Structure 1
Amino acid sequence: MVSIGRPMFQVGSNIFELIEFTATKTGVPGASDRKTPILYGVNVAKVREVIRLPTIVPCLTNAPEVLGVFNLRGLPIPAIHLAKALGYDEEPVTPTSQVIVTEFSSRRAGFVVAGTRRIRRVSWDKVLPPSSDAFNTITGMMLIENQDFIFILDFERILLDIEGRSTGQGASGYSANEGMIQPGSSHGGGAAAPAQQGAPAGKSAKPLILVVDDSPTARRAICEMLRGMQLDIIEYTNGESAWKDLVSAEEGSDLSKVQLIVSDVEMPKLDGYSLVKRIRNNEKLKKMPIILHSSLTGDVNRDRAKQAGADAYVGKLNRKEIVEALKAALPPTWTGAA
Structure 2
Amino acid sequence: MAGVLDSVNQRTQLVGQNRLELLLFRLKGQQLYGINVFKVKEVLQCPPLNEIPNRNPVVRGVAHIRGGTISIMDLNQAIGRAPLDNISECFVIITEYNRSTQGFLVGAVERIVNMNWEDIHPPPKGAGKENYLTAVTEIEGKLVEIIDVEKILAEINPLSEEVSAGVIEDGIAERVVKKHILIADDSAIARKQVSRVIEQMGIATTLMKDGREALEYLQGLVKQGKNVSDELILIISDIEMPEMDGYTFTAEVRNTPELKGLYIILHTSLSGVFNEAMVKKVGANDFLAKFNPDDLARRVNEQVIRMTGESMLEDQGE
TM-score above 0.5, yes or no: yes
Residue 90 (structure 1) shift: 6.2
1:59-98 map, 5 Å: 59-89=52-82, 91-98=84-91
1:307-322 map, 5 Å: 307-322=281-296
Q: Is 2:18 aligned against 1:14?
A: yes
Q: Is 2:291 aligned against 1:298?
A: no
Where 2:256 maps in the other structure, the secondary structure is coil
Match of 2:97 in 1: 104
Judged with a 3 Å threshold, the aligned counterparts in structure 2 of structure 1 residues 91 and 277 are, in CA distance, closer, same or farther, namely same
Residue 88 (structure 1) shift: 3.7
Segment of structure 1 superposing worse, 232-241 or 322-331: 322-331
Aligned amino acid, residue 152 of structure 1 = I
Match of 1:167 in 2: none
Q: Is 2:247 aligned against 1:273?
A: yes
Distance 2:193 2:58 in 1: 27
What 5-or-longer segments of structure 1 have no aligned partner? 25-35, 164-171, 183-198
**Residues 43 and 92 in structure 2, CA contact (< 8 A), matched pair in contact too:** yes
**Residues 181 and 317 in structure 1, CA contact (< 8 A), matched pair in contact too:** no
Residue 259 (structure 1) shift: 3.2
**Residues 237 and 265 in structure 2, CA contact (< 8 A), matched pair in contact too:** yes
Quick one: which of 280, 284, 295 aligns to 2:258? 284
**Residues 206 and 230 in structure 1, CA contact (< 8 A), matched pair in contact too:** no
Residue 322 (structure 1) shift: 1.7
Distance 1:37 1:290 in 2: 40
Where 2:88 maps in the other structure, the secondary structure is coil
Quick one: which of 122, 133, 140 aligns to 1:138? 133
Q: Is 2:144 aligned against 1:156?
A: no
**Residues 261 and 288 in structure 1, CA contact (< 8 A), matched pair in contact too:** yes
Residue 94 (structure 1) shift: 4.3
Distance 2:119 2:76 in 1: 26
Distance 2:15 2:102 in 1: 28
TM-score normalised by structure 2 residue count: 0.82
**Residues 181 and 318 in structure 1, CA contact (< 8 A), matched pair in contact too:** no
Where 2:186 maps in the other structure, the secondary structure is coil
Residue 255 (structure 1) shift: 8.2
Where 1:95 maps in the other structure, the secondary structure is helix
Distance 2:176 2:43 in 1: 54
Where do 4+ consecutive residues of structure 1 move more than 6 Å? 253-256
Match of 1:189 in 2: none
Structure possessing the higher relative contact order (Cα contacts under 8 Å, 6 or more residues apart): 2
1:226-241 map, 5 Å: 226-241=198-213
What 5-or-longer segments of structure 2 have no aligned partner? 164-172, 313-318
Q: Is 2:27 aligned against 1:23?
A: yes
Match of 2:196 in 1: 224
**Residues 206 and 231 in structure 1, CA contact (< 8 A), matched pair in contact too:** no
Where 2:89 maps in the other structure, the secondary structure is coil
**Residues 17 and 43 in structure 1, CA contact (< 8 A), matched pair in contact too:** yes
Per-residue deviation, residues 162-214 of structure 1 (Å, max 9, x unmatched): 23xxxxxxxx5x33xxxx548xxxxxxxxxxxxxxxx99xx874432212122
Residue 154 (structure 1) shift: 1.6
Residue 102 (structure 1) shift: 0.9
Bigger fraction of residues in helix: 2
Where 1:259 maps in the other structure, the secondary structure is strand
Per-residue deviation, residues 119-147 of structure 1 (Å, max 9, x unmatched): 1112111111122334532110012213x
1:49-60 map, 5 Å: 49-60=42-53
**Residues 142 and 149 in structure 1, CA contact (< 8 A), matched pair in contact too:** yes
Judged with a 3 Å threshold, the aligned counterparts in structure 2 of structure 1 residues 313 and 268 are, in CA distance, closer, same or farther, namely same
Distance 1:61 1:105 in 2: 23
Residue 263 (structure 1) shift: 1.1
Judged with a 3 Å threshold, the aligned counterparts in structure 2 of structure 1 residues 9 and 82 are, in CA distance, closer, same or farther, namely closer
Residue 215 (structure 1) shift: 2.2
Distance 2:194 2:13 in 1: 32
Judged with a 3 Å threshold, the aligned counterparts in structure 2 of structure 1 residues 49 and 234 are, in CA distance, closer, same or farther, namely same
TM-align CA RMSD: 2.7
Distance 2:301 2:83 in 1: 51
Residue 280 (structure 1) shift: 1.0
Residue 152 (structure 1) shift: 0.6
Judged with a 3 Å threshold, the aligned counterparts in structure 2 of structure 1 residues 295 and 40 are, in CA distance, closer, same or farther, namely same
Judged with a 3 Å threshold, the aligned counterparts in structure 2 of structure 1 residues 327 and 306 are, in CA distance, closer, same or farther, namely farther
Quick one: which of 41, 50, 56 aligns to 1:48? 41
Segment of structure 1 superposing worse, 15-24 or 244-253: 244-253
Judged with a 3 Å threshold, the aligned counterparts in structure 2 of structure 1 residues 10 and 228 are, in CA distance, closer, same or farther, namely closer
